[in-house]
Amino acid sequence: MAAKLKVGIIGCGGIANQKHIPSLAKLSHLAEMVAFCDVVEERAIMAADQFGTNEAKVYTDYKELLQDESIDVVHVLTPNLQHSFITVDALEAGKHVMCEKPMAINSKEAQEMIDAAKRTGKKLTIGYQNRFRDDSEVLYKASRAGEFGDVYLAKAHAIRRRAVPTWGVFLDVEQQGGGPLIDIGTHALDLTLWCMDNYKPQSVTGSVFYKLADKYEGNMFGPWDPETFEVEDSAFGFIKMQNGATIILECSWALNTTDVREAMTTLCGTEGGAEMKAMPGSPTSELVFNSTKYGKLVETKPATGGGIAYFDAGAEEPGVKEARQWLECIINDTEPLVKPEQALVVTQILEAIYESAKTGKTIEF
């Protein structure tokens, strides 16, 4: 490669500083961050000072950033409402685009993003970093190898007990398009569809609840103003696929349960099954396969990490692995792991859950 990819960051808030910017900084041999944009200029300045090149530019208007022809790649890390039109503008400006999840607040806007990518010939991917966890990769490989047979039932888990995000615009229905369903439910559903390799929904029935807007006692991120809690606190979906397989999606920021599991999945097939179980204090899950052998029920737990104290320092975090794969697919002109067409199906299903809950009807595809 003659030169490093030049990256522009649009949106310098929480997800930018927690995942994207630090991950890109660890891949400085592949790319360099040359531009930062945020409506709060101080945030862009801080990010540029800490992670940008010496000549990094700061903007408050993303359209000015897109005018820089030297920028190859743009990461769109704004509130959900802005994902689609910024992504389309960036693609039209000749940039490859990594857009943070969810792809868009509705399927119409998500399709417009795909159309723009096809029209411009530029690459587009969506930020589903949970596919890059060790346990996720092992489960995906086992499913692709046919270890579970025909997977006809799956559960997508995105359950928190009391962990409502109280910063930014998470509780603003206009800016976000929804609550935990579009925030964390999207990760669990993406992971489940990917492991099943099934992207053909037939019908969706959903329930959405607004029960706990004033129940902030014990919240991990502190109290909030109940008057500003505009989104759902829980949502559940019953998804039937065209081949008859069924997916049960459960998601909540604040459910009165001790069975807390986020960005995890359960697969049940004709030859066996697998379940991601929460491990307290661990960012990953305990992966358990189940089957029958020698006339007995058998459970196995694949090792999904190095497992040796002090010798895992070289392992990449999911966000870094995601960024590496994304940059390398641009450099090598290959496909990103997360295809926008897959993210579109996630968006369509989430949209159908909201619509089903609103109308009381099953949504047919």
pLDDT 10s digits, 279-303: 776 666 899 999 999 999 999 998 7
Instruction: Note whether 191 and 265 are within 8 A (CB).
Output: yes
Q: Each residue of 229-238: pLDDT tens digit?
A: 999 999 999 9
Q: Which of 33-37, 56-60, 279-283 has the lowest mean pLDDT?
A: 279-283
Q: Each residue of 205-247: pLDDT tens digit?
A: 999 999 999 999 999 999 999 999 999 999 999 999 999 999 9
Mean pLDDT confidence for 65-87:
97
Q: Which of 41-55, 122-136, 149-163, 302-316 has the lowest mean pLDDT?
A: 302-316
pLDDT attached to residue 1: 45
Q: Which of 23-37, 99-113, 289-303, 343-357 has the lowest mean pLDDT?
A: 289-303
Band of the pLDDT at 278, cuts 50, 70, 90? confident
Is residue 152's pLDDT more than 70? yes
In terms of Cα–Cα distance, which of 267, 310, 304, 308 is closest to 289?
Answer: 267
pLDDT attached to residue 173: 94
pLDDT attached to residue 285: 80
**From CA 318, how far away is CA 191, in angstroms rounded?**
13
pLDDT attached to residue 303: 77
Structure tokens at 115: 């159309």
Instruction: Note whether 352 and 247 are within 8 A (CB).
Output: no
pLDDT attached to residue 313: 46
Average pLDDT, the chain: 94
Q: Each residue of 302-349: pLDDT tens digit?
A: 877 544 444 444 568 999 999 999 999 999 999 999 999 999 999 999
Percentage of the chain exceeding pLDDT 90:
92
C-alpha distances out from residue 179 to 49, 251, 350, Å: 33, 10, 11
pLDDT attached to residue 279: 77
Structure tokens at 224: 């909030």
Band of the pLDDT at 6, cuts 50, 70, 90? very high
Band of the pLDDT at 144, cuts 50, 70, 90? very high
pLDDT attached to residue 2: 52
pLDDT attached to residue 305: 59
**From CA 69, how far away is CA 65, in angstroms rounded?**
9
pLDDT attached to residue 183: 96
Query: Which residue in this structure is represented by tokens 């369903």?
Result: 181
Q: Each residue of 243-268: pLDDT tens digit?
A: 999 999 999 999 999 999 999 999 99
Q: Each residue of 114-140: pLDDT tens digit?
A: 999 999 999 999 999 999 999 999 999
Is residue 188's pLDDT more than 60? yes
- DSSP secondary structure letters along 285-319: EEEEEEEEETTEEEEE----S--STT--TTPPPHH
